């Protein structure tokens, strides 16, 4: 079974693209969602995050996201420390999940696939792109945020051209109808590549 990494900058529409692949019967693993679940359920992660951020890291057994976001926003080294706690456990969880799937390929959606080096474990990579203005508009609608916060996150992620250079496929997600067609084409190309090998 092949592992296909799906990535793209914040607001590019990775989730929309993942949903279209799911409609084609492709198993999807959304790493951020699984990380969030593990941060609320894993005793080891909880203990280590409390050691790192203090007792306020959790309120009523739930991760205190606004509190963590504030710390990370002011000191990026905390993000790296948190990722060092969470990412290895997500990787283990993913390996177990893969063993349960039965499909020519699965998709692993990771926002920071390149930044955290996990692209090296993928057989193929799809990068989702969208116009910067479109991305900002989507995020302003979706999240209770500001343009400056969005730009700060974008600055911490690799630029599209850098990702595209290392990708096998690029899906431009500006108009949904076009995106759906591109997903179908990419799916066909992936199947052709997998069965030719």
Q: Do 96 and 139 fall within a single domain?
A: no
11 labeled part of a ligand binding site: yes
Looking at every residue in the chain, the average pLDDT score rounds to: 94
Task: Give 121-164 pLDDT, tens digit per residue.
Answer: 999 999 999 999 999 999 999 988 899 989 888 888 899 999 99
7 labeled part of a ligand binding site: no
Q: Do 124 and 195 fall within a single domain?
A: yes
Q: Do 64 and 119 fall within a single domain?
A: no
Q: Do 168 and 194 fall within a single domain?
A: yes
Of 39, 67, 36, the residue nearest 53 (C-alpha) = 67
Final residue in a domain of this structure, among 100, 128, 156: 100
Task: Indicate which CATH number applies to the domain containing 164.
Answer: 3.40.50.300
Q: Do 147 and 178 fall within a single domain?
A: yes
Q: Do 22 and 71 fall within a single domain?
A: no
Q: Do 19 and 63 fall within a single domain?
A: no
Tally of CB atoms within 10 A around 154: 17
Side-chain half-sphere of 195: how many Cα atoms within 13 Å? 8
Q: How many domains does the chain divide into?
A: 2
Of 131, 129, 136, the residue nearest 179 (C-alpha) = 129
How far apart CA 91 and CA 112 sit, in angstroms, is 14
How many residues are listed for the chain in this entry? 197
Task: Give 3-38 pLDDT, tens digit per residue.
Answer: 999 999 999 999 999 999 999 999 999 999 999 999
Of 1, 2, 3, 25, the residue nearest 110 (C-alpha) = 3
Q: Do 76 and 46 fall within a single domain?
A: yes
Q: Do 66 and 155 fall within a single domain?
A: no
Q: Do 158 and 95 fall within a single domain?
A: no
Q: Do 150 and 61 fall within a single domain?
A: no
Can you give the pLDDT at residue 197? 55
Final residue in a domain of this structure, among 41, 72, 100: 100
Range of the domain at 70: 33-100
In this predicted structure, the answer to whether residue 69 has a pLDDT above a threshold of 90 is: no
186 labeled part of a ligand binding site: no
Tokens of 121: 């474990």
Q: What is the mean pLDDT of residues 43-62?
A: 95
């Amino acid at each position: 079974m092949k592992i296909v990494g799906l990535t793209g900058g914040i607001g590019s529409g990775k989730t929309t693209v993942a949903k279209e692949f799911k409609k084609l019967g492709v198993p999807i693993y959304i790493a951020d969602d699984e990380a969030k679940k593990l941060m609320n359920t894993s005793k080891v992660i909880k203990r280590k995050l409390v050691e790192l951020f203090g007792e306020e890291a959790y309120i009523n057994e739930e991760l205190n996201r606004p509190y963590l976001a504030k710390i990370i926003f002011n000191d990026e080294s905390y993000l790296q420390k948190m990722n060092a706690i969470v990412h290895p456990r997500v990787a283990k969880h993913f390996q177990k999940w893969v063993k349960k799937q039965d499909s020519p390929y699965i998709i692993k959606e990771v926002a920071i696939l390149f930044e955290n080096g996990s692209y090296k474990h993928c057989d193929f990579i799809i990068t989702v792109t969208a116009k910067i203005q479109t991305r900002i508009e989507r995020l302003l609608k979706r999240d209770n945020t500001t343009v400056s916060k969005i730009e700060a996150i974008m600055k911490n992620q690799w630029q599209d051209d850098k990702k595209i250079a290392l990708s096998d496929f690029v899906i431009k997600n500006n108009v949904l109808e076009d995106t759906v067609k591109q997903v179908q084409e990419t799916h066909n190309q992936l199947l052709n590549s997998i069965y030719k090998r």
